[in-house]
Chains A and B, each alone.
Chain A
Amino acid sequence: MFLTISTTGTLERPATDLGFLLHKHPDNAQTFSTSHGTAHVLYPEASAERCTAALLLEVDPVGLVRRGKGKGRGGAPDSALAQYVNDRPYAASSLLAVALSTVFKSALRGACRAMPERAAAPLPLRIEVPALPARGGAELVHKLFGPLGWDTVEAEPVALDTAFPEWGDSRYVRLVLEGELRLADALNHLYVLLPVLDDAKHYWVAPDEVDKLLRAGDGWLAEHPEQKLITSRYLSRRWGLTRDAMERLELVRLAESDGLEVEDVDNAVDETTDTEEKPVPLAEQRRAGILAALRAADATRVLDLGCGQGQLLQELLKDVRFTDIVGVDVSVRALTVAGRRLRLERLGERQAGRITLIQGSLAYTDKRLTGYDAAVLSEVVEHVDLPRLPALEYAVFGSARPRTVLVTTPNVEYNVRWESLPAGHVRHGDHRFEWTRQEFRTWAARVAGQYGYGVEFTPIGPDDPEVGPPTQMAVFTQTSRTTPKEDTA
């Protein structure tokens, strides 16, 4: 991984002053040991008119993998590091950012004992990063560097493989920045934005990263329009840390606008500036619809089949009429998240006794699921391949046989009303299909007939006169205790 920093000058103010500002002599290549490899600083050119410093970081790809071993669970935080086939030796990532901060430590602080006035003043800079991984592409590069005072920001996509032009561009761009900036500012931009564009960190993000971010972002981050993205990516999307950083940046802004010190305005932050993601109204309406249907069916012992991360379970738990709530999901990870959301470990005995989370699969029958009043399959069926749907039907309607079954699924007709959804696309990458209202009704009627249930339909969300509601719900009610004779053909 590699980058160059160039400046131009005159005989009076020679470009080679860059050597002083970087604290590295232009006529000697210097070598530094960093945590993930050897950094070299050398100057391909050094004249009064033009001086270029190059930073080359040699990463040991084998060491990168072997180092990850023996660490606690999960190993390296960036799973890419666990691969021998790894772009880290070539691409400008957090490894390079760390090398930058190690090798040019004083320059980043803007310190230069030899020429303090040069360090404090802007100088003409040209920075080139030939292989910069940029999740978000050239567009994001412009959004990030654009507001920082650079005259030109050039981000040229790198082709993935010239032998296969149909594969298109890679996620790398060749970045060229030109402008009159303080060297320290330019280095801080790189230090923060290289890992942000890469959207990965080679080390575990600890709370002190917030301090590092605020220090490096001093003077530019608080006012940056992409502050939220920068903060969250820099902190590896650790929401707690991100919120902390955002609040502190808010304080900085407040303090600045009032000409106060940050400490004076602390604790004055309005709670409504919470950056928590806004709840998706449709999901809320769906849960409300389900709860209403469950109450109408007089259900107290309820299965949430495909409970995911437990949002519906949380609602069910709030209503004491539901005495026996079972969340079932095939993903152990989802169940772990659900358990955390419900704070199962801290729940009082009486509350905890009402809820159980189990791993299960609707591709199999499961004796543990028999004898319940109701089962909810909310946004589940569309995640099953159509040819495997009969197995789910048997497992739910034939084997578990709750008195009431609620099935919700997207109404594909409504998709035209979603502005952000490209035509012909499903709403979620894992949706194996999305049904029209008619398709859903046909399926539901067939299943109901086959297994001895009656079925009614309820819209969820605004019922558009033309395309119907965004979500459709079927309420199945058992009409006969045993499965009618199956068609043996």
Chain B
Amino acid sequence: MTDTIRTLPVTDLSLVVLIGASGSGKSTFARRHFKPTEVVSSDLCRGLVADDENDQSASRDAFDLLHYIAGKRLEAGRLTVVDATNVQSEARRQLVQLARRYDVLPIAIVLDLPEEVCQARNAARPDRADMPRHVVQRHRRELRRSLRGLEREGFRKVHVLRTVEEVEAAEVVLEKRFNDLRHLTGPFDIIGDVHGCRSELETLLAKLGYADGHHPEGRTAVFVGDLVDRGPDSPGVLRRVMGMVAAGDALCVPGNHENKLGRWLKGRKVQETHGLAETIEQLGRESEEFRAEVGAFIDGLVSHYILDEGKLVVCHAGLPEKYHGRTSGRVRSHALYGDTTGETDEFGLPVRYPWAEEYRGRAAVVYGHTPVPNTSWINNTICLDTGAVFGGKMTALRWPERELVDVPAEKVWYEPARPLATEAPGGHQGRPLDLADVHGRRVVETRRMGNVGVREENAAAALEVMSRFAVDPRLLAYLPPTMAPTATSKAEGYLEHPAEAFAQYADDGVERVVCEEKHMGSRAVALVCRDAAAARERFGVDPAEGATGALHTRTGRPFFDDAAVTEQVLERLRAAVTAAGLWDELDTDWVLLDGELMPWSLKSAGLLRAQYAAVGAASRAVFPGALDALERAAARGVGGGVDALLAKQRERAADAEAFTEAYRRYCWPTQGLDGVRFAPFQVLAVRGRSLAAVPHDEQLGWLDRLVEHDPTGLLQLTRRLVVDTGDEASVRAGVDWWLEMTAAGGEGMVVKPLAALVRDGKGRLVQPGVKVRGREYLRIIYGPEYTRPENLERLRRRFLGHKRSLALREYALGLEALDRLAEGEPLWRVHEAVFAVLALESEPVDPRL
């Protein structure tokens, strides 16, 4: 007998299985040592399903429920205690399986108390007083039979308490998992695969600011593993890293190569391939003692670490979110080897499963293992293995700065078995688009505006449009956002007027805006590649299809049904880009242009005829007869207000005439490309760069040169005027310019912050542009008679809030698509943002805004 406290270590995320006969005091024990919500008891579950905690006939359902609840808790990463007798091995087997399913440790705490104690306790409980003695006897028999095999059953810790006193003196102590280093917040320098490249490692450490393995600012290096094999000095690398780890200057997770080396050091039989032979040879020159140290070092490595309050996960081969912080054989295996499909490629190497593409976790996962020519973030994951040993470079990531630092390899130390993947992301070898990338309710992370949500029904609508009508998604790099109109004007006779637009931008703190003539045609996005080879290299389109780009509408439809016509347009655009010298100036072999294609009647002929022209035709048919009847009735002296009615009908006839004039301005016949015009207003992106934040004066400079260098008459200039929103005279000039332009039949203008991408005083994105539509043009939108005072009065009650919010969200998504495109992210990442724009377009919003 002892009075000293007996500590029972329990891992903080584990499945604790209490084992003991009825009456052994499991529930009391659980109450004393765990939170009530951590304990799932079979009695409680029996009660829940059968209204009786002792109804043995409900056991089957009760245990289903118990497993279900425990499973939910473990999935969410919560410590769970199972309070049931668990004396039968079958019951425990199911629980061990449950723990494995959620990759947590099963821990057994056994209350092996004498029979008399149990019988006495049961006798004292009214609900168990009638329990036959043989029940406890059977429990104890089964328990004793099980005791020796618990570890073999899979329990990673087994605590056995045999007396009442031992139980009394026991204290459960929660232990952190080895992989849980959330309390360490760095800053860190995470270093990719080293593979024995000692010299490059030293250069990289020096570049990162380390002197003899120590950083004067207290930064911590984190090695993603594969320190050894293939390279010239694996022992040197090990010595350096082991020293740093021992001194607390570094952390290290194991790579598959350390794992194999560790087994070799233990004398296991391993194949000396993939560079292990070199390491063995190099270690042969080291002392026995050093080899033992290496063995101990490798043995002590933890498969992965969670760092920086859970924001960072480091491991060798990547890890899906559900494995973060978990402990099981398969977690370790994934952390070391990654996921493979079970197939092998033509070089005899396993085909890796692209787990990162499915990764949706909040924590950044930094890993190595797969050599790539260049690193890039995919879904908050990044691979730092840039193949130093294969003559690539050695890369480190500064965290939390997210800066990449690299040093080139000094030579090709080892020939790769297969060439480093050189395919452009999203190229024809890129992963095909999967429905899970776009389907259902989604949240798209944007750099400029945080998370943008897409509702399920909007995604469903977009899926139909995208699947049935859109151009090849590889060529659909961008969809233009919707644009809000200016705030509603109160000026007599106007619904929209520039004064509000200038005032709004002044309020947002935007001093200089550019007014750009608004062309009335159809929005068109043009992707122009320098040639078919460039289209193939960057966008992965099959050269057999001959596409050198795309020309699509705001919903992603091809602008022309005939691909040959599209190519003709692209050819003219390409010639202009070439003549203007923009390929070299922008250092690119493709450009993405946003613009307006005219005439309106070209793409909207159906709508024009069915709606706009039809209204004109009906009005022209009806008014002559109606006016004639009224005039004759008036001439006859018919009473009842005929004169007033006549005057009103004359006004209506004039309005209808004005309406017809309004739409006719935007229609003209075309023959092939004769008569077709394209007015570009932004160069959205070129190779490696989004140009969406380039100020509009600079943008217009490029575009003017394009127009200038187009001899075919396709390209059309956009007139513009810069206005200082704080200067009255300048604002007045802007208003006059608009009045003049719209009086001559212009659609109106778009007012944009000159600096393009602007935030207001509170750091929020400012509308990238607002449209101010002309008084006559708006007849096409609000009907022929909208200018009548009683109609204007009602129409002024329009609500812009939703439209503005939509415009900003779509803008952020559009920018995101361009950023992802520019940064060479995979096709599906670009597509996700583009798809989201289309989905938002199906949000119900007043279509006249």
Point out residues on A near B: beta carbons under 8 Å: 1-2, 4, 26-31, 40, 42-46, 52, 54, 56, 58, 61-62, 66, 83-87, 89-91, 128, 130-131, 133, 158-164, 166-167, 170-172, 174, 330-332, 359-368, 383, 385, 387-388, 390-391, 394-395, 398-399, 482, 485, 488
Within the complex, the shortest CB–CB distance from B126 to chain A, in Å, comes to 43
A29 and B639 contact, CB distance less than 8 A: yes
Contacting pair A164 B667 (CB below 8 A): yes
CB atoms of A363 and B664 under 8 A apart: no
Within 8 A of A (CB), among B610-633: 611-626, 628-633
A388 to B475, CA, bound (A): 11
Q: Contact between B645 and A85 (Cβ–Cβ < 8 Å)?
A: no
Q: Is the CB of A170 within 8 A of B783?
A: no
Contact, CB under 8 Å: B625 / A130: yes
- Chosen A-B contacts, 14 in total, with CB atoms closer than 8 Å, are A42-B640, A56-B626, A56-B629, A62-B785, A84-B782, A85-B659, A161-B613, A161-B617, A330-B464, A367-B434, A385-B558, A387-B545, A395-B432, A399-B432
Is A364 within 8 A of B795, CB to CB?
no
Q: Name which residue of chain A comes closest to B660, CB basis.
A: A161
Q: Is the CB of B615 within 8 A of A85?
A: yes
Which residues B429-486 have CB closer than 8 A to chain A? 429, 432-439, 457, 460-461, 463-464, 466-468, 472-473
CA distance A26 to B637 in the complex (A): 11
* Residue in A61, A363, A390, A488 whose CB lies within 8 Å of B783: A61
Contacts A29-B641, A44-B632, A160-B613 known; A85 to B436 CB distance under 8 Å?
no
Q: Report how far A169 CA is from B616 CA in the complex, Å.
A: 12
CB-defined contacts of A360 to chain B, threshold 8 Å: 435
Q: How far is the CA of A43 from the CA of B547 in the complex (A)?
A: 66
Determine whether B343 belongs to the interface, using a CB cutoff of 8 Å to chain A: yes
Interface residues of B in 776-810 (CB under 8 A from A): 780-786, 791, 794-795
Residue from the list A54, A58, A87 in contact with B614, Cβ < 8 A: A87
B848 CB–A CB distance under 8 Å: yes
Most A C-beta atoms less than 10 A away, residue of B437, B438, B472: B472
Instruction: Considering the complex, give the chain A residue whose CB is closest to the CB of B607.
Output: A85
**What CA separation (Å) do A57 and B725 show in the bound complex?**
48
Q: Mark B628-662, 1 if CB is under 8 A from A, else 0.
A: 11111100101111100100110010001001100
| Neighbour of B463 across the interface among A45, A130, A166, A361, CB < 8 A | A361
Number of A-B contacts (CB under 8 A): 206
Contacts of A366 in B (CB 8 A): 434-436
Residues of B within 8 A of A (CB): 343, 346, 429, 432-439, 457, 460-461, 463-464, 466-468, 472-473, 542, 545, 547, 558, 563, 609, 611-626, 628-633, 636, 638-642, 645, 648-649, 652, 656, 659-660, 664, 667, 669, 780-786, 791, 794-795, 848
The interface residues of chain B lying within 8 Å CB-to-CB of A130 are 621-622, 624-626
Cβ distance A48 to chain B, nearest Cβ, rounded Å: 14
B438: A residues at CB distance < 8 A: 364
Given contacts A131-B622, A167-B613, A364-B434, 18 further A-B contacts (CB under 8 A): A2-B626, A29-B638, A29-B641, A31-B641, A62-B794, A84-B783, A84-B848, A90-B615, A90-B618, A90-B621, A90-B656, A130-B622, A160-B617, A164-B664, A164-B667, A171-B614, A330-B463, A361-B463
Complex CA–CA separation, A83 to B781 (angstroms):
9
Give, as a whole number of angstroms, the nearest-CB distance from B700 to chain A. Answer: 33
Bound-state CA distance A38–B50 (Å) is 71
Q: How far is the CA of A359 from the CA of B438 in the complex (A)?
A: 12
Complex contact A388–B472 (CB within 8 A): yes
Contact between A2 and B622, CB atoms less than 8 A apart: yes
**Residues on B with beta carbons closer than 8 Å to the beta carbon of A4:** 625, 629
Note all chain B residues with C-beta closer than 8 A to A133. Answer: 618
> Contact: A160 with B464, CB < 8 Å?
no
A62 in contact with B783 given A44-B630, A332-B464 (CB within 8 Å): yes
Known: A1-B622, A28-B638, A167-B609. A160 touches B429 (CB 8 A): no
Of A66, A331, A367, the residue contacting B794 (CB under 8 A) is A66
Interface centre among A87, A368, A399 (most CB of B within 10 A): A87
The residues of B that contact A131 with a CB separation of less than 8 Å are 617-619, 621-622
**Once the chains are docked, how many angstroms separate the CA of A443 from the CA of B600?**
38
Which residues of chain B are near A159, meaning CB under 8 Å?
617
Q: What is the chain B residue whose CB lies nearest that of A62?
A: B791
Q: Which residues of A contact B615 (CB under 8 A)?
A: 85-87, 90
Interchain CB contact under 8 A, B629 and A52: yes
B631 / chain A contacts, CB cutoff of 8 Å: 44
Given A62-B791, A363-B466: A46 and B645 interface contact (C-beta under 8 Å): no
Which A residues touch B848, using CB under 8 A? 84
Contact between chains at A170 and B667 (CB < 8 Å): no
**Are A31 and B640 touching (Cβ within 8 A)?**
yes
Partner of B629, one of A28, A44, A58, A84: A44
B620 close to A361 (CB less than 8 A): no
The docked-state distance in angstroms from the alpha carbon of A387 to that of B613 is 35
Cβ distance A141 to chain B, nearest Cβ, rounded Å:
14
Q: Are B638 and A85 in contact (CB under 8 A)?
A: no
User: Residues of A contacting B783 with CB < 8 Å?
Assistant: 61-62, 83-86
Contacts of A90 in B (CB 8 A): 615, 618-619, 621-623, 656
Q: Are A359 and B463 in contact (CB under 8 A)?
A: yes
Which of chain B's residues has its CB closest to A54's CB? B629
Contacts of B614 in A (CB 8 A): 87, 160, 170-172
Q: Which residues of B contact A42 (CB under 8 A)?
A: 629-630, 633, 638, 640, 642, 645
Write the nearest CB–CB distance from A13 to chain B, whole angstroms: 21
Of the candidates B563, B618, B780, B781, the one having the most CB atoms from chain A within 10 angstroms of its own CB is B618
Question: In the complex the two chains form, what is the Cα distance from A91 to B633 in whole Å?
Answer: 22
B437 → chain A closest CB, angstroms: 7
Inter-chain contacts of A162 with B (CB < 8 A): 620
Residues of A contacting B660 in the complex (Cβ-Cβ under 8 angstroms): 161
A469 CB to closest chain B CB (Å) equals 27
Chain A residue, CB-CB nearest to B473:
A363
Tell whether, in the assembled complex, residue B432 and residue A394 are in contact, meaning their CB atoms are under 8 Å apart.
yes
Chain B residues positioned under 8 Å from A395 (CB to CB) = 432
Determine the chain A residues whose CB is within 8 A of the CB of B641 once the complex forms: 29, 31
Q: Residue on B with the closest CB to A158?
A: B621
Contacting pair A29 B613 (CB below 8 A): no
State the 3 A-B residue pairs at the shortest beta-carbon distance, nearest first.
A29-B640, A84-B783, A44-B632
Q: Do the beta carbons of B432 and A361 come within 8 Å of each other?
A: no
- Residues of B within 8 Å of A167, CB to CB, are 609, 613
Residue with the greatest number of chain A CB neighbours at <10 A, chosen from B464, B652, B781: B464
The 8 Å CB contact of A54, one of B466, B468, B626, is: B626
| Nearest-Cβ distance from residue A356 to partner chain B, whole angstroms | 15
Cα A102 to Cα B460 in complex, Å, equals: 45
Docked CA distance A44–B621 (Å): 18
Name the residue of chain A whose CB is nearest to the CB of B620.
A158
Question: Is the beta-carbon distance between A488 and B628 smaller than 8 angstroms?
Answer: no
Q: Does A361 lie within 8 Å of B626, measured CB to CB?
A: no
Which of B466, B624, B791 is A361 in contact with, Cβ under 8 Å?
A: B466
Partner of B436 from A31, A46, A367, A391 at Cβ < 8 Å:
A367
- Rounded to whole Å, the gap between the CB of B813 and the closest CB of chain A is 19
A11-B784 Cα distance, complex, nearest whole Å: 45
Residue of A nearest to B780 (CB): A85
| Shortest Cβ distance from residue A399 to the other chain B in the assembled complex, whole angstroms | 7
A29 close to B435 (CB less than 8 A): no
Output the least CB separation between A437 and chain B (Å).
Answer: 23
Judge whether B432 and A391 touch: CB under 8 Å: yes
Query: Which residues from B are CB-within-8-Å of A31?
Result: 640-641
Q: Which of B437, B621, B641 has the most CB of A within 10 A?
A: B621
Q: Which residue of B434, B460, B618, B780 contacts A359 across the interface (Cβ within 8 Å)?
A: B460
Cβ-defined contact, B464 with A29, below 8 A: no
Smallest CB separation, A92 vs chain B (Å): 8
With A84-B783, A86-B783, A485-B346 as given contacts, are A44 and B617 in contact (CB-CB < 8 Å)?
no
Q: Which residues of B contact A85 (CB under 8 A)?
A: 611-612, 615, 659, 780-784
